[in-house]
Amino acid sequence: MRKPFICANWKMNKTVKEAQELIKELLPLVKDAQCEVAVCPPYTALSELKKQLDGTNIALGAQNINENKSGAYTGEISADMLLELGVTYVIIGHSERRGYYGETDDSVAAKVGFALENGLKPIICVGESLDQREANETFSLLEKQVSAALKNIKPNEVENIVFAYEPIWAIGTGKTATADQANDAIAHIRSVIGKKVGAAAAEKIRILYGGSMNEKNVKELMAMPEIDGGLIGGASLVAEKFAKIVCY
């Protein structure tokens, strides 16, 4: 059985003070959660939130990582920096990183490999645009993205990988894939993983849904057999809403 996983992606929201206030409000609401929980705040809040989260049931994640150990990469953050701050998970290849900042399948693969080498657990994002879905390219695109993301991993690293299916057309738009659409896409992702690392290993990898999961649709989505959790954007910025998702 794959343990459900609900992860918050705060994106470029919350000052350090606001982040601390949100966590303070959230902790008692999710202390009895049956699923794994993580939050990925902006880099500026990582250090202070680590202090708040020590000894709790919420893990700390980051929103990106550079594929190099150190060097002249202005504005970037390294694995060593994240590890020093107590980070466990790191989001890689989010559609906003791919769309706004030119991340490619190759750069995502490099980041995944580097994160795993350094003991961080990547949450690898894949998903299609509305044009690609309407052109019936969803499955072929997912196969391309998933295959590329896995090309640098070793067999013993598979268990530390999480995937997130995020249909770009359903992020921040209020639109949501139907539960069946999300389940079918995630089943396809799992089948592609199976081709790369074996069916048994693929069955152990958690695949989240990242397309506007919220407190109103979480039960329906989480009832689907292939959906193992959610990568939550806007709904994670309000403690009460996020807690309802975590405690679905």
Whether 65 contacts 115, CB under 8 Å: yes
Q: pTM for the whole thing?
A: 0.96
- For 3, phi then psi, to 5°, come to -75, 125
Catalytic one among 67, 103, 166, 215?
166
In a domain, 12, yes or no: yes
From the number of C-beta atoms within 10 Å of its C-beta (0-12, 13-18, 19+), residue 217 rates as buried
Our answer to whether residue 166 is catalytic in this structure is yes
Query: Cα-atom radius of gyration of the chain, to the nearest Å?
Result: 17
In a domain, 245, yes or no: no
Average pLDDT over residues 145-168: 91
Tens of pLDDT along 14-65? Answer: 999 999 999 999 999 999 999 999 999 999 999 999 999 999 999 999 999 9
Whether 22 contacts 58, CB under 8 Å: no
Q: Tell me the CATH number at 206.
A: 3.20.20.70
The residue with greater pLDDT, 154 or 5, is 5
143 catalytic residue (yes or no): no
Amino acid 27: pLDDT: 98
Asked if residue 242 is part of any domain, the answer here is no
In a domain, 247, yes or no: no
pLDDT attached to residue 153: 86
Does any domain span residue 160?
A: yes
Into how many domains does the chain fold? Answer: 1
Query: At CA 55, angle to CA 19 and CA 26, rounded to 5?
Result: 35
Question: pLDDT by residue (tens digit) across 89-145?
Answer: 999 999 999 999 999 999 999 999 999 999 999 999 999 988 898 899 999 999 999
- Asked if 203 and 190 touch (Cβ cutoff 8 Å), the reply is yes
- Mean per-residue pLDDT of the chain: 95
Domain ranges, residue 84:
5-234
Task: Specify if 248 maps to a domain.
Answer: no
